[in-house]
Amino acid sequence: MSVLTLFLLYAVPMSVIPPVMIYYAGVTYGGGLLPAVSDVQLQIIGILLFLTELAMTFVVAYLIQRMGDVIDIKPAFEDAYKLAVVVPTPLWLAPLFLFIPSFMVNLTAVSAALMLSGILIFYSVPSILKVEEKGHAILLSGSILSAGLVVWAAMMFLTLISLSMITSSPML
C-alpha cells in the first residue's frame, strides 16, 4: 500500500475517533469526566487534536526511518509509515471507552492501549521493516517504542496546552 492510500484510508478515519469521542464525552457528561468546556471549545480542541494526530504519523514514520541507522538498515518510508499507522491503532480505539462515563475504565483502556501498541511494535518491526536478526529487531523495537512514547506524550501535552489556552480565552 502506498503512503497516500494508508493515510487516506487508515490514518484519517482512525484519527477521527479520538476527537469525536472527546467531543461526545464533553457534550454528554459535561464536567463529570472531562473539564467543562463549551461546544465551540470542544470543536477547536478536536480539530487541533485531529490535525496533530495526522501530522504525527509522518513525524513518527520519519523517526522510524532514521532509527534504522541504529542497526544499519535503510527502511523505505512506505514501510516506516505502515508501522507508524498500524502501531497506534489501540490508542486510536481506546477513546471508544468514553461511551462509559468512568474515569477508571478510561484510564484502564488507555493503559491497555499503550501496552498493546508496545506489543504491536515488537511483533511488527521484524516483518514490516524486514529485520532478520532478533537482537537487532529488539534494539530497533525498543528505540521505536521510546520515541513513540515521547511523541505520544508530546501530543497529549500539546492537547492540554491548547485546552488551557482555549478555556482561558474570553473570546470562546
Q: How far apart are CA 85 and CA 81, in angstroms?
A: 6
Q: How far apart are CA 20 and CA 9, in angstroms?
A: 18
- The string of pLDDT tens digits covering residues 82-113 is 999 999 999 999 999 999 999 999 999 999 99
Confidence at residue 150, expressed as pLDDT on a 0 to 100 scale: 92
Residue 102 corresponds to which cell in the numbers above? Answer: 468512568
Give the residue from 26, 23, 60, 57 showing the smallest Cα distance to 43.
Answer: 23
- What single-letter amino acid sits at 146? S
Grade residue 32 by pLDDT with cuts at 50, 70 and 90.
confident
The region that residue 130 occupies, defined by phi over 0 for left and psi between -120 and 50 for alpha, beta otherwise, is left
Residue ranges per domain, the chain?
Answer: 3-168
Which has the higher per-residue pLDDT, 115 or 70? 115
